[in-house]
Structure 1
Amino acid sequence: MISEDKYLKRVLLTSDVYAACLQHALTTEKEEVMGLLIGEVDEKKCISQISACVILHRSDKQPDRVEISPEQLCTASGYADELAHKLDKPMRVVGWYHSHPHITVWPSHVDVRTQVMYQMMDPLFVGIIFSVYQSDTGSTGNHVQVTCFQAYKAGSEYQRREIELVIENISIQRYNLESIASLPRILSQEEVQRHGGEGDDNIEDGLTWLHNDAFQTLALVHIVSKVAKPLCEDLDARLKSVNLRITELEKIKKKLLTEH
């Protein structure tokens, strides 16, 4: 039973985690993607601070649902423990995120049921949805929407409750940069598994093998051209910007030292 007086009042999401989740959501407009959110929760104020994420490998691609296995949840918990030790502060899995390509940002009844399951284990667990590849009437642009929610029981059914979401602008952290950089590798692993991987070598029908291999190659080329290459260009631009800023600060420091 989900307690009515035990729910989140606010979620603080760092800008680098927001960028990582959105980048993941934009990698495909055909299926939903998902991941887990890591941070700390103020139990008294019921405020969640999300500062890291885990991009999950999908064993089964579906256009309208995602599933997080107990093994993935366990792995994410281990990663949270590592971050807690490294950052010297309490960290745990505090939520999950997934995408809604071409559909409304609001959670479906399946999403609400999934959220109920998580809240049974942790009343302050939260869900975030990124709605992508939506265009307003008469517009050709990609319209992105984000919602943060929990579930509560209304009569005999469960409903969604919107939670206030605040994006905190911070510089990108190394561990979140590593998560973003791992995205092409995870997507490539999904494609290899989807098209049979090493098992294709055992297919007797040469045309079937050639067909599967061709589609896998096309998918991998798409990942390189549409995900990996733009990602590298973006990170390179960030690096140049940071180096320029360092140079400017060194000049200011030198000037101040000279004046004093």
Structure 2
Amino acid sequence: MALQAAHLEVDAFLVCMVHALSTEQEGVMGLCLGEVRAVRIAHIRSVIILLRSDKRKDQVGIPPEQLLAASTEEERLAKLTGQPTRVVGWYHSHPHITVWPSHIDLCTQAMYQMLYRDFVGLISCFGEVKSTKTGRIVFTCFQSLQATKSSCKYERVEIPVHLIPHTDMGKACLESMMAFSRILHKEEQNAFRKIHSLSHLDPITKIHNGSVFTKKLCSQMLIVGGPLMHWLEGLLKRNEERLQALQQEKQKLLEELAALEREEQNLTA
């Protein structure tokens, strides 16, 4: 039996979308953290951006040790947020393809559900509407069930997903956003070292490989690093303005409290 629904907090959704839109040619992947409540609703509060070992439009490879390390992250985030936290799902993107899960996605999802029956899968897809020449983002949530009337081994069950609004960005999601550029840099560095270590490469090819690596890092700074820094500066400014407003409200309340205490003293005198 599938889950009733998935509640995705908007700051976790923002991290998923920023991750997915960081590349137009390759899929991305991450893990969703939160809890599944008694009414069988998955509540997703934060995400972990995973380091890719294989980057293709229709397939993403993840080193196995990253999935094992997720248990450590569960414990850390549970202490950080003071709420029960575990890995409750995974997300990945289908750039310029379709939002519906492939047969590989369904098999992967079924494998996760063997470990935890309430595990969910999230897929984002973006592209262009040809008639209007405008961008479009589609998002879906699903689980896998044993197929009964088709030749496929598993079939998709769509799970209703609801975005939960937030006035602030949670600390766990903010940490994921801050780690984003570092993970992208690590991916490019791993790819560069893998090719550069090949013994049969001539010096010119190695120089070219280094130039491509430098160009990739510059593109990351332009496409991801710059906008991310601008967003963080805006977030800091809003937080400072809110802090100032709260301090003014605190001072006003203290003055009102002092006035009430003086009034009470006059009445008892």
Query: TM-score, normalised on structure 1?
Result: 0.90
State the AA in 2 paired with 1:229. Answer: G
CA distance in 2, matches of 1:233, 1:87: 26
**Are positions 1:17 and 2:12 aligned together?**
yes
CA distance in 1, matches of 2:175, 2:36: 24
CA distance in 1, matches of 2:201, 2:111: 44
Residues 30-82 of structure 1 deviation map (CA, whole Å, 9 limit, x = unaligned): 1101001111112x311111112110001111221123443211111210012
Alignment of 1:37-116 (within 5 A): 37-42=32-37, 44-116=38-110
State the AA in 2 paired with 1:152. Answer: L
CA distance in 1, matches of 2:255, 2:136: 51
Alignment of 1:145-184 (within 5 A): 145-155=138-148, 157-170=153-166, 171-184=168-181
How far off its partner does 1:145 sit? Answer: 1.1
Residues 92-123 of structure 1 deviation map (CA, whole Å, 9 limit, x = unaligned): 11100001111111111111111111111111
- By relative contact order (CA 8 Å, sep 6+), the higher-ranking structure is 1
Count of residue pairs the alignment pairs up: 253
Residues 202-245 of structure 1 deviation map (CA, whole Å, 9 limit, x = unaligned): 66511101111111111000001110111000110111112122
Residues 126-182 of structure 1 deviation map (CA, whole Å, 9 limit, x = unaligned): 0001112x1112333321111000011221531111111111112111221111111
Runs of at least 5 residues in structure 1 that lack an aligned partner in the other structure: none
Alignment of 1:247-258 (within 5 A): 247-258=244-255
User: Contact (CA 8 Å) 1:184, 1:228: kept in 2 or not?
Assistant: yes
Percent identity of paired positions between Structure 1 and Structure 2: 41
Distance of aligned partners of 1:29 and 1:179 in 2 relative to their CA distance in 1, 3 Å threshold? same
Q: Which has the larger radius of gyration?
A: 2
SS in 2 for 1:135: strand
User: Contact (CA 8 Å) 1:127, 1:148: kept in 2 or not?
Assistant: yes
**Are positions 1:144 and 2:137 aligned together?**
yes
2:229 aligned partner:
232
Query: TM-score, normalised on structure 2?
Result: 0.87
CA distance in 1, matches of 2:197, 2:207: 9
